[in-house]
Structure formats: C-alpha cells, structure tokens
Amino acid sequence: MREFVYHRPGSIDEAGALAAAHGAMLLAGGQTLLRDMKLGLHSPSSLIDIVGIVSKQIEFRDGAITIGAGATHAEVTNSAVLREHLPVLADLVGHIGDPAVRHRGTLGGAIAANEPAGDYPAACLALDATVQTTARRLAAVEFFRGRGGTALEPGEIVTGVTFPVVGQAAYIKFLHPAARYALVGVFVARASNGNARVAVTGAHVDGAFRWRDAETALNAAFDAEQLRGIRVTLNGFAQDLFADAAYRSHLAAVLARKAVILASGPAPRVVVISHGSQQRQQ
C-alpha cells in the first residue's frame, strides 16, 4: 500500500470538492476499497473519509423506501421501516458478508464499488431503484456500468437510494465455495403494474445485469414454468476452478425459477444455498 493523504471533511460539499482532485477516492465503510488497496488494485493519492457526513436515514414515503447512503448494512437489515414495507431487501442485506462487514460496510459504498458478485446491485436493478447523488438522480440501469464501473463523475457522491415497494419479490443465491460471495444470485420482483424484473449477479464478469428474456417470459405469466428452457447467453460469463460459464448459466436458470416460486409464496423471502444444501431461509 502506497502513501496517501487522509482527509476528514466536515460537510458533503467539502468532501465533493476534495474528491474531484486527481487521484482522490472516497472512503465510506472501506470494506472493498481498503482490501483493493492492500492488493495493489487501487493506489489513491488521497482518501476522503465521508463517514458521518452522509445521511443514514431510512424512510417510507409515497410507496417507496429511501435509504441514506451512509447507512451500514447492519442498520439497513435491522430497520423496522424496511422490514415492514420491503422485508426482502432487509433480508438480502442481512446476508451480506459477516457481522463485522455488515457493521462497517455502507449502502453507498456497496453500490459505488459495484462488485461483480454484489447483492445490492442485483436488488437495485430488480427493484427499479433510483440512485440519488450530490448532482442528480439516476435509474439503477443507468448507474451501473460494467465491472466496478458506475456513472459517477469525479467529486460526485452517492447520497441515497430509493426502492419502490413491491408485493412480490425474492432473492436466492448460491455461495461461491471459496470467496463466499454469490457464485450466482438471482433477484426476481413483480412491480405493482404487473411487470417483472429479473437481475442476475455473480455470473457475469461485468457484474449484475437484467435478464430481459426472463422478464419477457414472466410478463406473459408470472409462473416459474414460463422460464423452463430459457437460458442466459454465455458471452461474458465468469469462469473459475469452481464453475465454468455453462454451469453458471444453468444455475441462473434454476435459481430464477426457484425465486419466482418464492416470490409467489405468502411472503417475500431470501434463500442462501451453500454446496447444494439450503443454508438459510427467511
């Protein structure tokens, strides 16, 4: 890890000005950034610590939940407001990392990092979330741009994310046996107007993406059988010692059908699977 200058600004405006400088990077929970700095993947000339100056507020208004970007994963998963109105998201966040990670990592940091196997990006895409920054509002599909990439400009800071409340939604992921991230994760949601959205994470090298063919099939009828025989294209799919592209594609199809069944049940649910056995279910 190389030397850098550490800044602790007193306001979000000051943070934005410092972050606009060449080589500067924002520090929220640091669960991704500090790891990558240790690995030599990032060598910032300065770090701007925004802990404490970005809102943590979680509120329900006009049929949607808005979460301040400074909220930690632990604060999100334990939110009474979120558990009442959008419990599937609270449960998803409760399975991010371990307790230590959840008490440091933040919503803003997670979506700004846009990790290829991140859970939050899949939720944002499937729930048609809107990302609020210090400069503008962006639909999730516009915000995420490939592996680790986002639409954020220098000095622009994520301040919150708004998630529309849906009645039917589920997330299911199969854990990578080594990294414990999602080898493949699928989030399925059905909006109040009946339109389905399906997001897949962990499978593609560029990160989470919407599975349009699956959405088209489910819009005809929100039934798991509609997805029978539909496969994701292998172009750009991740491969490693534990799973090749074909396996990940097949797993995405299987998990998508299971997610539709879960979403059609009595309550939104999240299921985490490890080594072929159901590990946790909520």
Tens of pLDDT, residue by residue over 1-48, are 688 899 999 999 999 999 999 999 998 988 787 787 887 778 888 999
The percent of residues in the chain predicted with pLDDT above 90, rounded, is 79
pLDDT at 268 over 80: no
**Mean pLDDT lowest among 119-123, 174-178, 212-216, 257-261:** 174-178
Q: State pLDDT tens for residues 40-81.
A: 778 888 999 999 999 999 999 999 999 999 999 999 999 999
Question: Which sign does the torsion angle of CA 169, 280, 112, 6 carry?
Answer: positive
Q: Hey, what's the torsion of the CAs at 222, 66, 69, 146, to 10 degrees?
A: 30
What are the structure tokens assigned to 223, written together? 């039934």
Query: Domain residue spans in the chain?
Result: 5-164, 168-281
Nearest in space to 21 (alpha carbons), one of 50, 55, 48 = 48
Other Cβ atoms less than 10 A from the Cβ of 18: the count is: 20
Q: Report the number of secondary-structure helices (H) and strands (E) in the chain.
A: 11, 14
Specify the CATH class of 5-164 in words: alpha beta
Locus of tokens 């550490």: 6
Residues 105-117 have a mean pLDDT of 94
Q: What is the structure's pLDDT at 1?
A: 62
- What the block records as the tokens of 83 is 């558990």
168-281: which CATH topology? Enolase-like; domain 1 (3.30.390)
CB 92 within 8 Å of CB 123 = yes
Q: What are phi and psi of 119, to 5 degrees?
A: -80, -40
139: which strand partners? 130
Both tokens assigned to 75:
């604060």
CA-wise closest residue to 121 among 210, 37, 219, 28: 210
Confidence class for position 246, pLDDT limits 50, 70, 90: very high
Q: Is the dihedral of CA 275, 41, 69, 71 positive or negative?
A: positive
Strands (E), 102-156: 130-133, 137-139
